Amino acid sequence: MRPRGSRSEAVEARTALRLARKEKRQEGRREGILDAARRVLAANGLEGLTLGAVASEADLSKPALHYYFPTREDLVGALTADYLSREADAVIAAVHAAKTDRGAAEAALRAKVAFAAADFHGFRVAYVLPLVVTLPRELTVSRVYPPGIRTMDALSERLARVELAKGLSPRKLANLCFCLAQGVLSLVSGLAAIGGATRFPLEELTDEACALLASAMKVPRRRGG
């Protein structure tokens, strides 16, 4: 005769498995909606990113879409959080792979620029739309801020071993690094969105930004020199 405890444990295990499968299906559907939103962005730009357009692209009814993303703000927030998380992973990987501590700042800047250049639609959603669309506060705190903090921590850690110009700290220089990248990207992507172009190509502007970063770091003195 099977003990009661064993039967209860078996029921709990089946329930847990069923819930896990349901959660996996929901996560797959959610990712499918985000992929559809990215296709809408690529085809129609920021102005065309509506819940109706995304529902149509994902082959869903509006009520089904609303189950996952009740408002446009929720959808934009999810796209923003996803982009920032992937961007942070790419930049942090570049920081860790840099051969020298001095080179970590340039590696971070170039990685951020390269990541955005490969997906300007995602860049605009993450950095432009939140200026006009109020994201849910809970999402901002839990998923929007943390990637930037992770990135700053990783770069600051390496810059702490570099001799910096007077008045600069590793954290300040890390902030400067991303401000420079952000400025270059905002200018280039903004003009591209309206059919324009910068006088200098993105590659040259990136080189100049890296040169500015280098000027904030003193060249290490050679021993015996």
Average pLDDT over residues 143-149: 95
Tens-digit pLDDT profile for residues 1-35: 555 567 777 666 666 655 556 566 667 789 999 99
Judge if 178 and 219 occupy the same domain. Answer: yes
- Model pLDDT, residue 166: 82
Average pLDDT over residues 198-206: 96
Judge if 76 and 63 occupy the same domain. Answer: no
* Neighbouring residues of 139: CB distance < 8 A, sequence distance ≥ 6: 74, 77, 78, 81
* Neighbouring residues of 36: CB distance < 8 A, sequence distance ≥ 6: 54, 57, 58
Domain termination site, one of 40, 69, 98: 69
The CATH number of residue 50's host domain is 1.10.357.10
Judge if 75 and 106 occupy the same domain. Answer: yes
Judge if 23 and 96 occupy the same domain. Answer: no
| CA-wise closest residue to 194 among 118, 126, 124, 114 | 124
- Model pLDDT, residue 167: 83
- Model pLDDT, residue 40: 93
**Taking the chain, what is the end-to-end CA distance rounded to the nearest angstrom?**
86
Domain termination site, one of 69, 95, 127: 69
In whole angstroms, what separates CA 182 from the centre of its chain?
A: 12
Judge if 14 and 48 occupy the same domain. Answer: yes
Tens-digit pLDDT profile for residues 158-191: 999 998 888 889 999 999 999 999 999 999 998 9
| CA-wise closest residue to 190 among 38, 45, 87, 88 | 45
Judge if 131 and 178 occupy the same domain. Answer: yes
Judge if 110 and 129 occupy the same domain. Answer: yes
Judge if 64 and 100 occupy the same domain. Answer: no
Judge if 101 and 64 occupy the same domain. Answer: no
The angle at the Cα of 9, spanning 5 to 10, to the nearest 5 degrees, equals 120
Judge if 77 and 174 occupy the same domain. Answer: yes
Total number of domains constituting the chain: 2
The boundaries of the domain holding residue 205 are 71-225
* Contact criterion met (CB below 8 Å) for 76 and 125: yes
* Contact criterion met (CB below 8 Å) for 154 and 96: yes
Judge if 29 and 76 occupy the same domain. Answer: no
Q: Is the pLDDT of residue 67 over 80?
A: yes
